């Protein structure tokens, strides 16, 4: 087989290059939140479509999306163009996102269920394309163990900024007397405008290392990845670490209004504070990885994350300042999983390429999208126990002690158990800085031999 990476080590990237690379993360992340939180309600209320049909559309769109990921990863890995392997996919996926976002967030009058279903499937698939292409691109943007944490730190910083900006838009529209439909349209327009600008900047200014050789990967290789102990360990950590914020998102409004005595506006501010803390957490955990190593830094982050949930539980009822402080502490370790797990997957990619002789980065990162989407689906399951104990969701409703204690247990204890488990799993991750440097040295030596052999057999100029 032939190797499929650049034949020289990549240089340290400037902050400008990494900022340009992270730019598309703003509209990508801005799309993810309203897709889950706002669009279902918008379709039901403003478009007056049947809730059961809307639920079915979202469910089947997500199922099709999950099934498409390994194929998208395989096609990305096989791509060879003059401008690179990942850039064509980000450009094509971004264009598809613009069209489908416009139609879903600003639908024409009388939009039918079939049209919305097609657009929704298109959004999910295009979103998978751009996220897979971008996270895989990050893996080859630097081959240095520590620099990869920095690259993904910038990527996650862009994600957090995108989430915060899109959270503010419906609030601003409502404060100016706008309707729900206008708030959704504002979010859609924000995404549609940012997509071409940020993607164009990234494509123009961010380098993509040249790919040498062909990729012969098949879908069978995707399933063969599960045989690797390092991948299974990383995927289990990703699933557990990702479930904690998923549970927070699903239960936060209920917990703060029903247990902590906050009103809806205060609860939304607390959620905003949680994400805002990620702006500090992103560079913090990238720095921690430089000092401790990525897997140790992630294990520490999981324990800090778990301890911070105790602070949320201990904050007195009705104390808004202490509630904000507790959510800021919880938000600090939130980005660590997104940054460090992807940087570790990039290191696995080096080891896998040394073994197979082919670069299958996008297929490896398709495993990450699988755990992310599975975690999103599983996090909503926590709502079921609340229905079993008779929890009342309506604002101002009176709940029994059993219902409130169940809600507190799900919001606090369940994430703590998952985060502690994730720390125990990842602390024995086999690829540290020494091992990664050994792998990179072997790859670069083999690349040099391949280049020398190719030069030796090249025909002499006439």
- Same-domain status, 209 and 232: no
Average pLDDT rounded to a whole number, residues 296-315 = 95
Task: Report the share of the chain in percent with pLDDT over 90.
Answer: 52
Flag whether 390 is in a domain.
yes
**Is 405 among the domain residues?**
yes
pLDDT at 460: 57
* Top mean-pLDDT range of 40-44, 63-67, 102-106, 451-455: 102-106
CB within 8 A of 158, min separation 6: which ones? 22, 23, 24, 25, 26, 29
The reply to whether 268 and 193 lie within a common domain is no
| Whether pLDDT at 5 is above 60 | no
Q: Which two tokens stand for residue 85?
A: 């392997």
User: 250 and 132 in one domain?
Assistant: no
Q: What is the DSSP letter of 13?
A: P
Report which of 120, 92, 121, 128 is spatially closest to residue 104, judged by C-alpha positions. Answer: 120
My answer on whether 328 and 268 are in the same domain is: yes
As a whole number of angstroms, the distance between CA 399 and CA 386 comes to: 11
- Structurally, the chain folds into a number of domains equal to 2
- Within this chain, do residues 52 and 159 fall inside the same structural domain, yes or no? yes
**Residue 3 forms part of a structural domain:** no
Residues 376, 286 share a domain: yes
Residues 152 and 238 in one domain: no
Q: Residue 223 falls within a domain, yes or no?
A: no
pLDDT single digits (tens) 361-394:
999 999 988 888 888 777 777 778 888 888 887 6
Is 152 in contact with 344 (CB distance < 8 Å)? no
Q: What is the CATH number of the domain that holds 82?
A: 1.20.1250.20
Together in a domain, 287 and 374: yes
pLDDT for 41 beyond 90: no
Do 209 and 245 lie in a common domain? Answer: no
| Residue 231 pLDDT exceeds 90 | yes
DSSP letters for 431-458:
--HHHHHHHHHHHHHHHHHHHHHHHHHS
CB-count exposure of residue 200 (10 Å: 0-12, 13-18, 19+): middle
Mean pLDDT score, 215-237 = 91
In a domain, 453, yes or no: no
For residue 221, being part of any structural domain is answered with no
Statement to judge: residues 67 and 191 lie in one domain: yes
- Cα 444 from Cα 462, distance rounded (Å): 32
Separation between Cα atoms, residue 272 and residue 331, nearest integer Å: 10
What digits encode the pLDDT tens for the residues 187-214?
Answer: 999 999 999 999 999 999 999 987 767 7
Task: Flag whether pLDDT at 177 surpasses 90.
Answer: no
- Is residue 1 domain-resident? no
Q: DSSP secondary-structure letter at 397?
A: -
pLDDT digits 0-9 by tens, 345-361: 999 999 998 888 888 99
Would you call 321 exposed, middle or buried from its count of C-beta atoms within 10 A (0-12, 13-18, 19+)? exposed
Are 296 and 320 within one domain? Answer: yes
pLDDT at residue 263 is higher than 90:
no
Separation between Cα atoms, residue 50 and residue 57, nearest integer Å:
11
CA 61/CA 35 separation, integer angstroms: 12
- Host domain of residue 77: 10-215
């Amino acid at each position: 087989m032939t190797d499929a990476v650049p034949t020289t080590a990549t240089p340290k990237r400037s902050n400008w290059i990494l900022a340009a690379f992270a730019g598309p993360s703003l509209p990508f992340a801005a799309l993810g939140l309203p897709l889950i939180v706002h669009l279902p309600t918008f379709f039901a209320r403003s478009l007056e479509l049947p809730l059961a049909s809307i639920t079915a559309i979202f469910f089947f769109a997500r199922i099709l999306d999950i099934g498409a990921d390994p194929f998208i990863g395989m096609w990305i890995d096989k791509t060879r163009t003059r401008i690179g392997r990942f850039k064509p996919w980000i450009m094509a996926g971004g264009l598809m996102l613009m069209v489908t976002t416009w139609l879903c967030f600003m639908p024409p009058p009388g939009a039918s269920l079939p049209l919305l279903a097609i657009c929704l499937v298109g959004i999910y698939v295009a979103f998978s394309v751009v996220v897979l292409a971008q996270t895989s691109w990050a893996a080859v943007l630097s081959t240095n163990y520590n620099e990869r944490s920095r690259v993904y730190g910038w990527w996650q910083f862009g994600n957090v900024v995108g989430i915060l900006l899109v959270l503010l838009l419906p609030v601003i529209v409502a404060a100016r007397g706008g309707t729900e439909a206008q708030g959704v349209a504002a979010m859609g327009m924000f995404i549609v405008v940012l997509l071409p600008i940020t993607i164009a900047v990234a494509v123009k200014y961010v380098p993509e290392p040249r790919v040498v050789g062909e990729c012969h990967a098949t879908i069978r290789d995707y399933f063969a990845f599960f045989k690797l102990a390092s991948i299974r360990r990383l995927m289990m950590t990703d699933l557990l670490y990702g479930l904690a914020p998923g549970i927070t998102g699903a239960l936060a409004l209920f917990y703060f209004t029903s247990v902590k005595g906050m009103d809806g506006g205060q609860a939304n501010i607390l959620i905003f504070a949680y994400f805002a803390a990620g702006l500090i957490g992103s560079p913090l955990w990238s720095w921690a990885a430089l000092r401790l190593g990525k897997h140790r830094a992630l294990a520490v982050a999981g324990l800090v994350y778990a301890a911070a949930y105790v602070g949320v539980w201990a904050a007195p009822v009705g104390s808004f300042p202490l509630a904000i402080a507790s959510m800021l502490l919880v938000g600090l370790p939130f980005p660590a999983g997104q940054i460090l797990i992807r940087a570790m997957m990039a290191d696995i990619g080096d080891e896998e390429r040394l073994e197979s002789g082919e670069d299958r980065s996008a297929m490896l990162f398709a495993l990450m999208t699988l755990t992310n989407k599975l975690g999103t689906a599983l996090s909503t399951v926590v709502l079921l126990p609340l229905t079993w104990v008779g929890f009342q969701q309506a604002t101002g409703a009176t709940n029994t002690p059993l219902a409130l204690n169940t809600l507190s247990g799900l919001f606090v204890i369940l994430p703590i158990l998952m985060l502690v488990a994730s720390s125990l799993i990842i602390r024995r991750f086999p690829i540290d800085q020494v091992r990664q440097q050994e792998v990179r040295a072997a790859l670069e030596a083999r690349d040099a031999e391949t280049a020398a052999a190719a030069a030796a057999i090249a025909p002499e100029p006439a």
